[in-house]
């Protein structure tokens, strides 16, 4: 059995670094973990409470496979935003997930609702 492709939203990365969410709560042994360029930027741009939180966050980012904002992502973002109102960062995350067959892991499920073919999981909801 192969694992899932999970694209972690910036809020999930920060919750894990703050130990408000445990990876074992939603990550299975065979899952592959990804981060989009936009979530990478959002996460590192976050105001950390201290240097330990920043180091934990950076360490977590370093184990995730980073997915770039490639031309195909740019074109998918345009398509998404032409069809519905969606914040640019969320559209980039959604396009990245769709093009890489990933499930978006986020607490902000409503930001991604109603997009055909996009799988979204809130690990705080059991």
> What are the boundaries of each domain within the chain?
7-121
Q: Domain 7-121: what homologous superfamily?
A: 5'-nuclease (3.40.50.1010)
pLDDT tens digit string along 65-94?
Answer: 999 999 999 999 999 999 998 999 999 999
pLDDT-wise least confident of 5-9, 50-54, 63-67: 50-54
Going by C-alpha positions, the residue among 47, 81, 42, 85 that lies closest to residue 61 is 42
Alpha helices in 1-126 (DSSP H): 10-17, 37-44, 51-61, 71-83, 88-99
- State if pTM tops 0.85: yes
Question: Given pLDDT bands bounded at 50, 70 and 90, which one contains residue 4?
Answer: very high
What average pLDDT does this structure show over 33-39? 97
| pLDDT at residue 1, rounded to an integer | 59
């Amino acid at each position: 059995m192969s694992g899932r492709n999970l694209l972690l939203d910036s809020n999930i990365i920060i919750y894990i670094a703050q130990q408000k969410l445990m990876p074992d709560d939603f990550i299975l042994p065979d899952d592959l973990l990804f981060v989009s360029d936009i979530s990478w930027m959002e996460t590192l741009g976050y105001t950390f409470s201290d240097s330990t939180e920043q180091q934990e966050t950076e360490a977590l980012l370093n184990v995730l496979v980073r997915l770039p904002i490639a031309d195909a992502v740019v074109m998918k973002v345009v398509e998404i935003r032409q069809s519905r109102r969606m914040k640019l960062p969320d559209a980039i995350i959604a396009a990245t997930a769709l093009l890489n067959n990933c499930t978006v892991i986020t607490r902000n499920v409503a930001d991604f609702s109603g997009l055909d073919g996009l799988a979204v999981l809130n690990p705080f909801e059991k």
